Structure 1
Amino acid sequence: MAHTADLPHLGIDAEPRAPLPPAVRDGITTPAERSHLQDLAATRPDVPWDRLLFSAKESVYKTCAPLAPRPLQFEDAEITFSPTARTFTAHLLLPWPAGVPAPVALGRWHTSHGILLTAAALPRPA
């Protein structure tokens, strides 16, 4: 089990277990994410993947905002989910200062009692 010292940057979000309006979904996703959401919906139609993506991005932004070179926008992170492991990976797409690699946030998700929960972290560098 990780200790808080191992996860200096942590973000958590909760959303209702319901699909997003299409206009909102289209405004927060990259083309690659829209394709990924279609694939996920075909394998696990019981999960509102678009709302889960929204929640995952909110968790990532809460995690990464203190480190980002500018305020984060929805298109600044690209999320991929593992439906079986209930995890996700977020690649930050905005430019970082020279010589600083863009962080990759790791997260977990859960759904229960009509709520979607996500948590994202930036593990301490080894």
Structure 2
Amino acid sequence: MRTEIADALLRAVLPPWAVGAARADDVSGPLFAVERALCEGAGPRREGEFTTGRWCAHRALVRLGGSPVAVGRGPRGEPLWPPGVLGSITHCPGFRGAALCRAGPARALGIDAEVDAPLPARVRDRLISTDEAGRMRPEVAGERLLFSAKEAAYKACSALVGDGRVPRLAELRILVEPGRHGPGTSGRFRVRVPALTVDLDGRHFEGRWKRSHGLVLTSCVILRPGTEVPRAWRPGTEVPTAQG
């Protein structure tokens, strides 16, 4: 898969006011010194994932209108973005990507990529509820799509509320909007979070998914209450907030 195709797949799951960069193959750099230190001693596979994820992050920062800067790592392994920037990095076999947006209309952003294959039974039984599975069509991507959506939502929640209040993956409930779920299709999903865990409800989550090229990609954005995001908004412009 060419880089432009990987970019297009990631762009398909992002709101129009977010940017991203993706690759199907690994790169060897360049990295900032602080980033190189973070992957010292890692095996070849992990080093490739990390380096290419940072490469995507640097490229996305430029697309957001900034300059490449070192993207550090927080205590939970999360990437550390420049002030005023929200973002997420994901990787799976055949895909690495990073997505960013500016803080303001959004409070958090999470993305996830998965190989389009059945979930292992132990993962399915632990993380996917009977109700969730029952709402999906019986295609291969059904439970994998639910899992990826949970991962993207978890990353967004984790960035927003921090340790101790993040819902577990099994507690996040995903409702995929009706539509075709075959290869090459896309759509949206909703997220329900446990009461008293996050100071938001499902109305503040915007989830999107894409199934193509042997992959399932998802994104989840948590919006500020009362914020109306015009579809034409682009990074660097002001977003009006609903009054009252």
Report the TM-score when normalising by structure 1: 0.80
The match for 1:91 among 192, 203, 209 is 192
Which residue in 2 is equivalent to 1:78?
173
Contiguous gaps of at least 5 residues in structure 2: 1-15, 19-100, 180-185, 227-244
Match of 1:29 in 2: 128
Give the drift of 1:26: 1.1
- What is the deviation of 1:70? 2.1
The alpha-carbon distance between structure 1 residues 79 and 108, as it changes in their structure 2 partners (threshold 3 A), is same
Pair 1:118 & 2:213 matched: no
SS in structure 1 at match of 2:160: coil
Identity of aligned residues (%): 35
Would the aligned equivalents of 2:177 and 2:187 in 1 still touch at CA under 8 Å?
A: yes
Aligned pair partner of 2:150 in 53, 57, 62 = 57
Q: CA RMSD in A?
A: 2.1
Aligned length: 117
| Mapped contact 1:76–1:94 kept (Cα < 8 A) | no
For residues 65 and 6 of structure 1, what CA distance do their matches in structure 2 show?
A: 18
Q: Could you tell me how far apart the structure 2 residues matched to 1:96 and 1:70 are?
A: 6
Higher RCO (CA < 8 A, seq sep 6+) = 1
Output the amino acid matched with 2:191.
A
Aligned letter for 2:196? P
Q: TM-score, normalised by structure 2?
A: 0.44
- Stretches of structure 1 that go unaligned for 5 or more consecutive residues are none
